[in-house]
Amino acid sequence: MAPGSLRATECRMAAFYAGFPDTVPIRTVNRQCSSGLQAVADVAASIKPGYYVSVDIFAQAHNCLLAMGITSENVAQRYGVTQEEQDRVQSHRHAAAASASGKFKDEIVPVSTKIVDPNTGEERPVTISVDNGIRPNTNMNNLAKLKPAFKRDGSTTAEVSEKKMKKTTSKSNDL
């Protein structure tokens, strides 16, 4: 392994310090925005023939050198992409239609947990079985009202960003 090759050396050392023997392989993926998708594809390709039974994938976002939101702003500025053009992307509408028709039902594993009402302390079970990043009622008028998320005069909003952005339930429902 070449020193400094996309942080692989540090990851290998972390595995050793964690007590894993040198017979346990390690691999890093660095494709910027595509790393997560590449990791999922690699894991799926390894589970299918039986190389893995399960895999724990986690992110260390604080290790990113340049936030993806700022990268989005830089690309938008360089190529003259406006907020309206970003909002007009058809992929969200296609995803909403696919979700409504049940095309994702075999792709999403339901997760059950318990949530606690912060006002009453009441605990109740909940099962998440849909992608809540897809909102079929999103429209251009509501999208146009959103403020830039990364730069004061930017064009990338929370709606067109990765869905780990935090917002209130009422704001999400308004969109």
Q: Provide block-wise average pLDDT over 10 residues at a time, the chain (175 residues).
A: 57 86 80 72 78 56 65 90 82 85 86 88 90 78 85 83 49 51
**Structure tokens that stand for 130 in this block:** 């849909």
**In the chain, alpha helices (H):** 8-17, 35-47, 68-79, 83-87, 91-100, 140-144, 169-174
Of 136, 133, 139, 134, whose CA–CA distance to 84 is shortest? Answer: 139
pLDDT at 120: 93
| Residue 46 to residues 25, 105, 126, 144, Cα–Cα distance (Å) | 13, 22, 31, 43
pLDDT at 1: 40
Give the CA-trace dihedral at 114, 118, 119, 121, to 10 degrees: 50
**Structure tokens that stand for 64 in this block:** 């990113």
pLDDT at 83: 87
Asked whether 30 and 7 are in contact (CB, 8 A), the reply is yes
Instruction: Determine the Cα angle at 82 with ends 77 and 87, to 5°.
Output: 130
Instruction: Identify the bridge partners of residue 112 per DSSP, sorted by sequence position.
Output: 127
- Max intra-chain CA distance, the chain: 56
**Structure tokens that stand for 41 in this block:** 């594809």
pLDDT at 122: 94
Would you tell me how many other CB atoms lie within 10 Å of the CB of residue 89?
10
Residue 171 CA, chain-centre distance (Å), reads 20
**Structure tokens that stand for 166 in this block:** 């935090």
pLDDT at 166: 39
pLDDT at 101: 93
